[in-house]
Chains A and B, each alone.
Chain A
Amino acid sequence: MSTLESLLEAPFSQPRAQEKLARVRVSLALVVLLLLLLGPYGSFNAELSALLNMPSSAAHGLRRLTWLRWVSAALAATLTAGFRPRLTAALLCASFGFLNYSVAALNELWNYNAHLNFFLFSLCFEGGSGKEREQRASFILTAMQAYVATLYLQAGLSKLLFGGVEWALSGRTPWVYTMTIGSAFGKRLAAFPEVFQALAIGTMILELTFPVLCLSRRWRPRAAGLAIAYHLGVWALMRISFWHLWALFPALFWGDWRRRAE
């Protein structure tokens, strides 16, 4: 098989793709449901939009945030149950996407859970039957994994381009943020700035090598494990968990372990 044919085949031939995608779908739906129930989607946003003189389209959305929140939560619960998954995913993609757009439009700042919009959109490509259904499921998984790999590459590149090598070597940024918003444990650990230098260097290495590791089916689940450990460490120090990303990793990256064990 030529290289091009291999490239065209591999993304569509992940083992047990439908089974794995079902687990990803449930994980994703639960993450979105939790965010909707507990996250910053309350009536505050509509009131705030009036105070901030927002563009009318986004403000319009925020005024409807309350019912849209509960409709989205119902869709997320339905998706968790696996009822009409493609239709439910499409509807949830639209409603949750609009919610996120409205909140992001408060001051044109990024949504740190942008990956959820992409993942929900990817689910809309499910369908077909037989081999085609399996291939579509495999492609969706590949797309999600590729998004995650790109995400870490972006994070590492951004630090390198705009923070420079000094970002890693000084460790100043994670140290200062730990001192200002960190946990009690993190603030105690701040007595050892070299720990934060090591953390910063490790962060940049992990983020820049994650995409490369993902190219290997053998290293992909290990890279995901490293990433989860990294995020838990940041959570312990800086109280920033990014849980809505790594909570999806066991289903998205670890499904292959069972096959390897057989």
Chain B
Amino acid sequence: MAVSGLPRRTRLALLSGLGIVLAIQLAQTLRDRSPWPLCAYNMFNRTLPLRFATMRVRLHDGSGAAFIVDPGEMLPLEFFRARSIMQDVFYAGNDERQKALLAAWMLRNLNERPWRAFDETFAAARPSEGARFVKLDVLVWGLDVSRMTAGAPLTPFEESSLFTYREPEQ
């Protein structure tokens, strides 16, 4: 049974290793990057401007109702990851086939295997009772902070459509 404990050299090595790892981690914050498995912990770090653009999705169901939802309600992932993926595909991307495939897949999931909320994963958007989603519009909304009022629904000062997809007729 060891009585003397960890040698001084071992303790120094462990502490040095820990220091290096944490220093590398801290450096990611200065770079504002998060290469796995490191994390910059830069969530919500920007001061939002008074006017900013945000993505929204307008879902239409078979009863004629339309719903404006957050991209986080379109994919069974953490809301920030869902938003990021949709921005990559529909805003930054120019692969029309990929957009159509993703849109079709999202509608199919919302209709056939909706998911529940957990932690930072939002619950799936839901259609009207007895209906199914048949169309989606991926939108960019311009929001003005000075026009946002607590208790009132968000209203954009401008709206543009990035992509529209309609389910094929059955």
- Which A residues contact B (CB, under 8 angstroms)? 7-8, 11-12, 35, 38-40, 42, 44-45, 47-48, 51-53, 97, 100-101, 103-107, 109-112, 114-115, 117-118, 125, 128-136, 139, 142-143, 146-147, 150-151, 153-155, 157-159, 161-164, 166-167, 170, 172-174, 176-177, 179-181, 187-191, 240-241, 243-244
Contact = CB atoms under 8 A, between A and B. Distances in A.
Contacts of B120: 112, 240
A42 B76 contact: yes
Nearest to B121: A40
Contacts of A45: 77
Contacts of A105: 36
Contact of B70 (A100, A181, A240): A181
Contact of B42 (A131, A134, A150, A158): A158
A147 B22 contact: yes
Contacts of B151: 187-188, 190-191
Contact of A176 (B12, B43, B48): B48
Contact of B121 (A39, A151, A190): A39
A164 B26 CA distance: 18
A51 B6 contact: no
A223 to B, nearest CB: 17
B40 A179 contact: no
A38 B70 contact: no
Interface stretch (B79-87, B132-140, B160-168): B79-87
B5 A179 contact: no
B76 A40 contact: yes
B15 interface: yes
Contacts of B37: 97, 100-101, 111, 114, 117-118
Q: How extensive is the interface on chain B, given as a class? A: 35 or more
A52 B43 contact: no
A190 B12 CA distance: 50
B76 A112 contact: no
Given A129-B2, A153-B26, A107 B34 contact: no
Contact of B47 (A11, A100, A132, A166): A166
B66 interface: no
Contact of A150 (B1, B5, B25): B25
20 contacts: A12-B6, A39-B119, A42-B115, A51-B101, A53-B98, A107-B88, A112-B39, A114-B34, A115-B39, A128-B2, A128-B6, A130-B5, A131-B3, A150-B22, A162-B32, A162-B42, A167-B45, A172-B50, A179-B148, A180-B70
B76 A107 contact: no
B121 A12 contact: no
Contacts of B18: 142-143, 146
A44 B137 CA distance: 22
A159 B45 contact: yes
